[in-house]
Amino acid sequence: MKVGIVASDRREWHVQRLTEELEGRGAEAYMLPATRFLSRVGVEPKLSVRGYPIDDYDAVIVRKVPGGTAEGVFYRMDVLHRLEDVGVYVINPADAIEVAVDKFYTSARLEEAGISTPRT
């Protein structure tokens, strides 16, 4: 099993722990910096990081998607969506991140689900 960990730095403790656990269970674990995502149309591989294909991974665990320009953030989210589209199982998928980082949208979704939220 091949698993990617989306994070900023392989020295971060959570990346190290996830890597240890995954490798201890026989998986190949690779740190994937979101700032290095490359997605292309009409070319193989469709998705890569630093020239290495990632569209053949079994799963990707998203730990951190860095900020930046709106265009950069949208692009990173698009890559996560596309990973799902090509069959990669994404833990902490783009849809969940998009809701979680938007306080108003989160509150609206909670209200729709019948969960009380403070008035805004």
Maximum Cα interatomic distance, the chain, rounded to a whole number of Å: 49
pLDDT over 90 at 47, yes or no: yes
pLDDT over 80 at 120, yes or no: no
Residue type, 71: E
Number of alpha carbons in the 13 Å side-chain half-sphere of residue 2: 9
Closest CA to 7 of 92, 89, 109: 92
Closest CA to 89 of 41, 64, 65, 54: 54
pLDDT of amino acid 28? 98
Q: What is the pLDDT of residues 58-103, one digit of tens each?
A: 999 999 888 888 898 899 999 999 999 999 999 999 999 888 888 8
> What residue ranges define each of the domains in the chain, with the CATH number in brackets?
2-92 (3.40.50.20)
